[in-house]
Amino acid sequence: MKKKAYLIGIKGVAMTAMAVYLKEKGFKVTGSDVAETFFTDRMLAEAGISHKLGFSKENITEKYDAVIVTGAHGGMSNPEAVQAKKIGLPVSMHGRYIGSVMSGYQGISVAGCHGKTTTSSMIAMILSSANLDPSYAIGTAYINGLGAAGHAGRGKFFVAEADEYMTCPVTDPTPRFFWQKPSLAVITNIEFDHPDAYRNLEEVKAAYFQFALNTLENGDHLVACQDDAESSELLQKIKHTKIATYGFSPRADFRIKKYHISEGVSFMTVEVKGEEIGEFMVKVPGRHNLLNALAAMTACNLVANLSWAQIKEGLKKYTGGNRRMEKIYEKDRISLYDDYAHHPTEITATLNSVRDWYRNRRIIVIFQPHTYSRTKKLLEPFAQALTLADVSAVAEIFPSAREKADPSVSSSLLVEAVKRLDGKAVLVRSKAEVLNYVKQTVRQGDILMTVGAGNLYRWHADLITILAEL
């Protein structure tokens, strides 16, 4: 008899990936979420996973073997989670559940404030290319060349992102990555984020320090970026033989010796402990993605003992994922890209990478800030990042399902902050204003980008219609 799983908040990218993984493991999978359309809807439909619209205790009608709960929509206080616990079903927050899944494999965890999804996806691609058929549950909808971001493979590896956010915003402040006990963990960078979970950078650093200690106690390897100041400081505190570093720094064990970028592709020459091992092709833009690629290469070499030839072949196949510098449309030298960047550092890296690839083209950004708390805490860094665009159209703040409106912060304040830094920015309060702005502003040769973790992706069809007429 098939086991049954119910996912509360099934449309979230991490939850959808887990749903697909469980379906491939032989579970009968269902769940619930809000009625609003998400870009994961297609992935669920293609996997044959149905779900209920809305949350109600009446939805919990069967004896599920696993009830998995998202951190959004109330977490453990969601009426469905409350009902499931009341009738004695095994209920687990997603962060904790993914740790229990990983315990049955050789786990590969990718932590960091930025780069988790890309690095995890690269690792999954390299391992898959080497015919190791890894399992994975990665926080995006699709990975080019692999398909759905969740997969139950026949191999011994399980790849997952390791998030520093709270297990449950209502009931459990434990950082989610504490539940993972991987064979190898990557730390891409450490930076202040999630101001609703951490009061300052020191608290974030303390969480990462404990995650690193947990990994070294239970696993075989910790891989960290030598170039990142906070990660480097963390390594100085630990000093362990299981640690490997990567980066541009001459002090890194796995080092990018030189690189060059052209339109559509980058090449980097890599050396390991002073010995050059060859040139590697990376088909996603930006210096930051060279670091992500090197992190993935390092992980695959250490944990799976892959040759550099196998790694080179796998990396060459990686062309990106859903909402990570994803090309949505291109015609007559007008290009539309979409990117999930929702932190100033991510936006800076994304815009710099576009400049590297398209040096002589105008960049127009439609940015939708994500969460009141993040926008308020990082307003000036957001403004600084947006000055890298030729012009930014800032939409209204997209709130998290777990927060209340905060009238002390607004998109108009962000627009004014950009202008104070001599950047160009306009406020676009509605979808209609965005579409009209694009119609009046974009011309041949422009790069138009939708940026943020909100719902701008739902406007792409209308944007494409306008761009096609220009």
CATH class of the 4-89 domain in this structure: alpha beta
Select from 110, 107, 163, 116 the least CA-distant residue to 135.
107
pLDDT at 462 over 80: yes
CA distance 282 to 48: 34
Q: What is the pLDDT of residues 193-244, one digit of tens each?
A: 888 888 899 999 999 999 999 999 988 899 999 999 999 999 999 878 899 9
CA distance 67 to 47: 19
- Give the percent of the chain with pLDDT over 70: 99
Q: Mean pLDDT, the chain, as a whole number?
A: 92
Contact indicator for 470, 444 with CB cutoff of 8 Å: yes
> Token pair of 420, please?
């104070």
Contacts of 375 (CB under 8 A, 6+ apart): 369, 382, 397, 409, 411, 414
* pLDDT for 144: 84
Tell me if 115 is assigned to a ligand binding site.
Answer: yes
Contact indicator for 3, 27 with CB cutoff of 8 Å: yes
Tell me if 73 is assigned to a ligand binding site.
Answer: no
Domain borders along the chain are 4-89, 97-316, 326-469
Q: Across 68-77, 149-158, 278-287, 334-343, which has the greatest mean pLDDT? A: 149-158
Tell me if 94 is assigned to a ligand binding site.
Answer: no
> Mean pLDDT, to the nearest integer, of 144-148?
89
Contact indicator for 174, 166 with CB cutoff of 8 Å: yes
The answer to which of 93-107, 178-192, 387-401 has the lowest mean pLDDT is 387-401
Tell me if 48 is assigned to a ligand binding site.
Answer: no
Confirm whether 4-89 and 326-469 share one CATH topology: no
Q: Which residue has the tokens 């303390």?
A: 206
**What is the dotted CATH code of the domain comprising 326-469?**
3.90.190.20
* pLDDT for 240: 83
Tell me if 153 is assigned to a ligand binding site.
Answer: no
Tell me if 117 is assigned to a ligand binding site.
Answer: yes
Q: Which residue has the tokens 């291109």?
A: 330
Q: SS3 string of 359-410?
A: CCCCEEEEECCECHHHHHHCHHHHHHHHCCCCEEEECCCECCCCCCCCCCCC
CA distance 177 to 159: 13
Tell me if 264 is assigned to a ligand binding site.
Answer: no
Q: pTM for this one?
A: 0.82
Q: What is the pLDDT of residues 421-431, one digit of tens each?
A: 999 999 999 99
**What is the dotted CATH code of the domain comprising 97-316?**
3.40.1190.10
* pLDDT for 322: 67
* pLDDT for 27: 97
